[in-house]
Amino acid sequence: MTDILPAEADGSLERLAAAALWADAEDAPLVVRRLAGPPGDRVWTVLATPDRDGAVFASIGADGAGHIDLIAVDPAAQGRGIGRALVGAAEEWMRAHGAAEARFAGNPPCYAWPGIDVRYTPAACLAERLGYEQYRVAWNMTADLPARYDEAEHEADLAKLAAAGVTVAAAPVGERAAVAAFVREQWNDKWAWEAENATGLHYAFRNGAYRDEEILGFAAWGARPLWFGPMGTAPAARGLGVGRVLLRRCLAEQAAAGQTSAQIGWVGPLRFYSRAVGARAERVFWLYRRALG
Ligand SMILES: CC(C)(COP(=O)(O)OP(=O)(O)OC[C@H]1O[C@@H](n2cnc3c(N)ncnc32)[C@H](O)[C@@H]1OP(=O)(O)O)[C@@H](O)C(=O)NCCC(=O)NCCS
């Protein structure tokens, strides 16, 4: 059997991921780098063949389950049992770290995909062949960039926000503590990590006394490289147009960075994204799991 050993997530793995992951060739190297820099308390590993023609990232989730975060075999080496051996090695590592269940599913907040993209059919076959069962479906939406929306509606949204004393602004790296605290308090630590690690972070606040801004909502992109999300508006501020305006700011920034489309990851409210920026449901992911005996 092929030796599968702990490895460095270096350039060779970035090239391997780009070669194997045909539907993600552009962002695969960025995803490898992202998975190699998860939250500090995450238990994770990367295992690879000696020739670096196959690799698997695995981690333990907050509930103790094991996750296969990314698996890739070089196209020239596929069909020879490497994929099967990688899953076996990942499962052994998971067992050694106390996991009673293994999943082909994203481990938020630092993930590559929600599950197996249905178009990576050999990966779905591999999971099923090894006794995994499909337990959930997830999907992304796609917004073409520049985003399409009604300019008059957008102007009306901005005017409504101004009249309500609401300002929207970017939170650059190094100045994200207040927004991250808002996200943690309103939602959870996972979204707060994504906000802190996003490429772009925008937020809305109501002007208060000096240094007493009331934050109402946020939107982020690039925590999962090149994807939009997460975003959220505090319940009391919903219906003002805060979410629409923040979403469009992020997408404008993604367009300015050269992206011709943006994936809205692991959604979520179809109708909101469909109406706000003409996004369509597109990628579908199957989440798989099996008990580790
Ligand atoms: C999925 C992948 C890792 C499998 O690696 P591999 O080394 O080719 O797999 P193996 O030779 O060990 O085959 C193991 C099983 O995978 C499945 N499989 C492999 N190639 C397949 C193909 N062309 N079509 C259908 N199933 C296939 C089969 O179930 C196979 O076992 P079986 O033939 O006994 O049924 C590889 O195809 C790959 O790197 N794909 C691109 C990356 C990817 O999709 N990653 C998952 C993203 S979520």
Q: Say yes or no: CB of residue 82 within 6 Å of ligand 1.
A: yes
pLDDT at 293: 80
Positive or negative, the CA dihedral 250, 251, 256, 260 is: positive
| Consecutive H or E run containing 148 | none
- Among 31, 73, 119, 132, say which to mutate for ligand 1: greatest number of ligand atoms within 8 Å of CB: 73
pLDDT at 1: 58
Residues 231 and 202: beta-carbon distance below 8 Å = no
Contacts of 249 (CB under 8 A, 6+ apart): 168, 170, 202, 219
User: What is the b/e burial string over 153-167, where b = at least 16 CB atoms within 10 angstroms of the residue's CB?
Assistant: eeeebeeebeeeebe
Question: Are the folds of 5-136+285-291 and 146-259 the same?
Answer: yes
Q: Say yes or no: CB of residue 84 within 6 Å of ligand 1.
A: yes
For 50, phi and psi rounded to 5 degrees? -60, -35
Q: Say yes or no: CB of residue 81 within 6 Å of ligand 1.
A: yes
- The residue count for the chain: 293
Among protein residues, the one with the nearest Cα to ligand 1's atom 28 is 126
Q: Say yes or no: CB of residue 83 within 6 Å of ligand 1.
A: yes
| 146-259 CATH choice from 3.40.640.10, 1.10.1530.10, 3.40.630.30, 3.30.750.24 | 3.40.630.30
Per residue of the chain (293 residues), what is the pLDDT tens digit?
Answer: 579 999 999 999 999 999 999 999 999 999 999 999 999 999 999 999 999 999 999 999 999 999 999 999 999 999 999 999 999 999 999 999 999 999 999 999 999 999 999 999 999 999 999 999 999 999 999 999 999 988 998 999 999 999 999 999 999 999 999 999 999 999 999 999 999 999 999 999 997 655 678 999 999 999 999 999 999 999 999 999 999 999 999 999 999 999 999 999 999 899 999 999 999 999 999 999 999 98
Q: Say yes or no: CB of residue 148 within 6 Å of ligand 1.
A: no
In angstroms, the CA 37 to CA 243 distance is 29
Domain ranges of the chain: 5-136+285-291, 146-259
Tokens of 127: 């999971």
Kindly give the distance from the C-alpha atom of residue 96 to the centroid of ligand 1, in angstroms, as a whole number. 25
- Among 21, 78, 80, say which to mutate for ligand 1: greatest number of ligand atoms within 8 Å of CB: 78
Among protein residues, the one with the nearest Cα to ligand 1's atom 31 is 126
Kindly give the distance from the C-alpha atom of residue 21 to the centroid of ligand 1, in angstroms, as a whole number. 12
- 5-136+285-291 domain in CATH 3.40.630.30? yes
Q: Say yes or no: CB of residue 183 within 6 Å of ligand 1.
A: no
Q: Say yes or no: CB of residue 116 within 6 Å of ligand 1.
A: yes
Kindly give the distance from the C-alpha atom of residue 57 to the centroid of ligand 1, in angstroms, as a whole number. 16
Q: Say yes or no: CB of residue 132 within 6 Å of ligand 1.
A: no
Q: Which atom of ligand 1 is nearest to the CA of 74?
A: 39
In angstroms, the CA 121 to CA 226 distance is 23
Alpha helix ranges (H) inside 97-131: 121-129
